[in-house]
Amino acid sequence: MVLWWLLLQNSLQYSDGRVEIVDVPKAFTVGDVVAVTHRRDGGVVVQRVSPPLYSAGIEIYLGEFLSGEQVRVRFASIASGNTDIGTLTFQFLYGESGVSEQTYNIPSGNYWQAELVTHTFTLPYDSEVTFRIIANVLSGVWYVIDYLDYYYPTARRGELLPDGNFESGSFGDGITQWKKLGAKTEIVLNPSYDSSYACKFYG
């Protein structure tokens, strides 16, 4: 058994650079580290051996939504300054392996911006949904988010996400508290309001 990295839906790259084309289940996504076993009958068994690795990120379970319902999240943020900060990728995970995602440049500016929103995700069928934020923050800078709620046209608009203002003060299981996905992610005192918490991503 050897380790490979998934390049495309049916391409596996070995650590020495060799590439093999195989039938890979759709449950895998680009960047997964997988173990490949070649059977004597010519078949190939592919298994994920680790979750995707992120330097910074969080996720939370949103609950069940009906087919056709839309999900969109609004949040407030502040950055360390007016230089380039990095990117944010927002993912809505649904069903067995469904992912709706979009990547944005992180807005710079050492002041609170309150009306930032994700893309709108429309449920293709009834499903539970988990919301994930992956932050790719440049070295030497930071980005803080707070107060995440549902935004128009979501049916739940105006409602806070679970632990949407990070008032639990810590990370948890991803159900009632945000799950931490990368080492460069912290729950911190809000830089503008010392009595409340926020989430900080840094490079």
pLDDT tens per residue, range 21-75: 776 655 566 556 677 777 777 777 777 665 566 899 999 999 999 999 999 999 9
Cα–Cα dist 56/58, whole Å: 7
Contact 138, 203 (CB under 8 A): yes
Tell me the CA distances in angstroms from 29 to 8, 24, 51, one per residue in order.
8, 10, 10
Per-residue confidence (pLDDT) for residue 42, from 0 to 100: 74
Domains of the chain: 2-50 (2.40.50), 57-202 (2.60.120)
Per-residue confidence (pLDDT) for residue 137, from 0 to 100: 95
pTM metric for this prediction: 0.75
Residue-wise burial string across 83-114, b where 16 or more C-beta atoms lie within 10 A, e elsewhere: eebbebbbbbbbeeeeebeeeeebebeeebee
Contact 115, 170 (CB under 8 A): no
Q: H or E element: which one contains 13?
A: strand 11-14
Average pLDDT, the chain: 86
Per-residue confidence (pLDDT) for residue 51, from 0 to 100: 57
Q: Is the pLDDT of residue 84 over 50?
A: yes
Per-residue confidence (pLDDT) for residue 24, from 0 to 100: 61
Contact 162, 171 (CB under 8 A): no
DSSP state of 160: B
Nearest partner of 146 among 79, 101, 66, 85, judged by Cα = 79
Per-residue confidence (pLDDT) for residue 93, from 0 to 100: 95
* Tens-place pLDDT, residues 87-108: 999 999 999 889 999 999 999 8
